[in-house]
Amino acid sequence: EAGVTQFPSHSVIEKGQTVTLRCDPISGHDNLYWYRRVMGKEIKFLLHFVKESKQDESGMPNNRFLAERTGGTYSTLKVQPAELEDSGVYFCASSPFVNSPLHFGNGTRLTVT
Amino acid sequence: GDSVTQMEGPVTLSEEAFLTINCTYTATGYPSLFWYVQYPGEGLQLLLKATKADDKGSNKGFEATYRKETTSFHLEKGSVQVSDSAVYFCALSEGSGYSTLTFGKGTMLLVSP
């Protein structure tokens, strides 16, 4: 089966611009998660979708971040406007059930200059 | 809140050396504990887990024991290989699920021939 796929693998944008990250989970996985690793720090939870609904978005840093999962398939994470501190690696993960192991994508490395 | 502290890297070893990567945690409840590994250019993969005190997780020659009295989950391997070079992340989740993980900062392991 195909794994979790993230696009793009790298993105370099200027402060104030908008960037949209995409995640395609493993087919049939209802649970989709976004995590972020800022340079030198921990990987932090951002939010959790169950199908198209946001189950937990307690980790979203501020209202410049918008996550969607239309139709319960792929998900997008938009940052608008981007700030320097948004630079990092954004990971997506999926799982079939809440209590099953997460399958992570390779991540999107975002650099804001 | 919950937190995970793991030793700073990089850890540099010669092939066949013994490996220990320390991990301690702070949690309000009875967490499940995990080690994830990220090989170069890849996503995070679950390496091993333990869900209750004194459980030992093991996989690919790696082991870690859930020590409630010392709130630790140290990763060990008796004889490392060059192919073990990667970043290792200690993580926890509340209860027995996987969904919302709290990660440490990661420890890079470099193994030379």
3-state secondary structure at position B103: strand
What is the enclosing helix (H) or strand (E) of A15? none
pLDDT per position as a tens digit, B42-86 = 999 999 999 999 999 999 999 999 999 999 999 999 999 999 999
Q: Reduce the secondary structure of A37-103 to three states and give it as a string.
A: ECCCCCEEEEEEEECCEEEECCCCCCCCEEEECHHHCCEEEEECCCCHHHCEEEEEEEECCCCCCCE
Instruction: Return the pLDDT at B96.
Output: 60
Q: How confident is the model at residue A2 (pLDDT cuts 50, 70, 90)?
A: confident
pLDDT exceeds cutoff 80 at A10: yes
Could you tell me if A7 lies within 8 Å of chain B, comparing CB atoms? no
Could you tell me if A4 lies within 8 Å of chain B, comparing CB atoms? yes
CB B81 within 8 A of CB B22: no
Could you tell me if A9 lies within 8 Å of chain B, comparing CB atoms? no
Instruction: Return the pLDDT at A63.
Output: 94
pLDDT per position as a tens digit, A25-43 = 999 999 999 999 998 889 9
Could you tell me if A39 lies within 8 Å of chain B, comparing CB atoms? no
| CB spacing of B98 vs A100 below 8 angstroms | yes
pLDDT per position as a tens digit, A96-110 = 988 788 999 999 999
Torsion angle of the four alpha carbons B92, B95, B97, B102, in this order, in degrees rounded to the nearest 10: -20
Cα separation, B26 vs B90, in Å, equals 12
Give the chain B residue whose CA is nearest to the CA of A36.
Answer: B103
Cα separation, A57 vs A77, in Å, equals 12
Sign of CA dihedral B84, B61, B5, A100: positive
Q: How confident is the model at residue A90 (pLDDT cuts 50, 70, 90)?
A: very high
Tokens (6 digits) for A61? 């840093």
